[in-house]
Amino acid sequence: MNRNYPKPIVYVVSDSAGETAESVLKAAAIQFHPNHVEIRRAPYVNGREGVDFVVAEAAKAHGIVVFTLVVPELRDYLIAQARKRKVISIDLLGPIISTLEKAFDQEPRHQPGLIHQLDEDYFKKVEAVEFAVKYDDGRDATGVLLADIVLVGVSRTSKTPLSMYLAHRGLKVANVPLVPELQPPEQLYTVSPQKVIGLVIDPDKLNMIRRERLKSLGLADNALYAQFERIHKELDHARTVMSRVGCKVIDVSNKAVEETAGIILSLIRT
């Protein structure tokens, strides 16, 4: 059956961007396709004047007000004004917040825009993880200049796992392997030593880790990579570089990644 109804106008009112309410409205409106709803978004309404304006416009247009207001006083005011002007209003968040308040036995924060703060944290973490991958293992010395933290140390001192762990805390981390045969990037000596962290390890522990690594690759565990003479040479070189940089040094011999990360976080905050 074909019926030509006038296109309804729905005012989306929010004390933040209004994306939540608009998404819910569109999800509901699609059930009436091909009929269309005209959506007029009123974001960042944080006072009675904004409410008065939107409700008045909705009354003139015979429209509907859909809102996501987390401040109770403003929410109640909008409901009262809509009732007064005979405007249909739909509170999307109020009933949910009220139900969760009872379930958690906890007072809600009533703070607008929190979901966008969470989104910002999420994207910051994603950016930090991408940074850690791009500047892992000294692939690009530019990362030393751009990073929040620069980890330096010999192979198998957990530089990459630490970079990823710290990236999930929103920190951009570059790591640089220290090898006697290769000069460290010059950028390492020009950045603030406060953001450079040196990682060292007990030679016996490193020998064990490297032997296991060689075995996992199907190689002989007595290769040069795991020999004590080579390990001591690398660690001496690493300490020389760290001394020149003037950075803090952490012994990771018997520390889990989480423990070392905690120490790093405390060091960069001081």
The domains found in the chain, sorted by start residue, are 9-112 (3.40.50), 118-269 (3.40.50)
Question: Which residue reads 């001192």 in tokens?
Answer: 157
User: What would the two tokens of residue 164 be?
Assistant: 């990823």
> What's residue 113's pLDDT?
63
pLDDT at 170 (0 to 100): 92
Q: How many CB atoms lie within 10 A of CB 250?
A: 21
Backbone angles phi, psi at 166, to 5 degrees: -70, -30
pLDDT of residue 118: 59
> Position of tokens 């403003």?
74
Q: Mean pLDDT, consecutive 10-residue segments, the chain of 270 residues?
A: 66 87 90 88 92 96 94 94 96 88 81 65 88 94 96 97 95 97 96 97 96 93 94 98 98 96 90
Per-residue pLDDT at 33 = 82
What's the CA gap between 145 and 125, in Å, rounded? Answer: 19
Give me the pLDDT at residue 115, please: 63
Q: Is 151 left (phi over 0), alpha (psi -120 to 50) or beta?
A: beta
Residue 162 tokens read as 């630490």
- Residue 1: its pLDDT value, please? 36
186 CB-near residues (< 8 Å, 6+ apart)? 141
What predicted TM-score, i.e. pTM, was given to this entire model?
0.61
User: Could you tell me the strand order of the sheet in which 88-91 lies?
Assistant: 38-42, 9-14, 64-68, 88-91
Residue 28 has phi, psi (to 5 degrees) of: -75, -40
Structure tokens, 39: 């959506």
How far is residue 69's CA from residue 67's CA, in Å, rounded to a whole number? 6
pLDDT score, position 19: 84
Which amino acids are annotated as binding site, given as ranges?
A: 153-160
Residue ranges for the binding site for ADP? 153-160
CB 161 within 8 A of CB 132: no
Q: How far is CA 212 from CA 122, 147, 158, in A?
A: 36, 31, 14
In degrees and rounded to multiples of 5, residue 177 shows phi and psi of -75, 140
pLDDT at 119: 62
How far, in Å, CA of 215 to CA of 223, rounded? 10
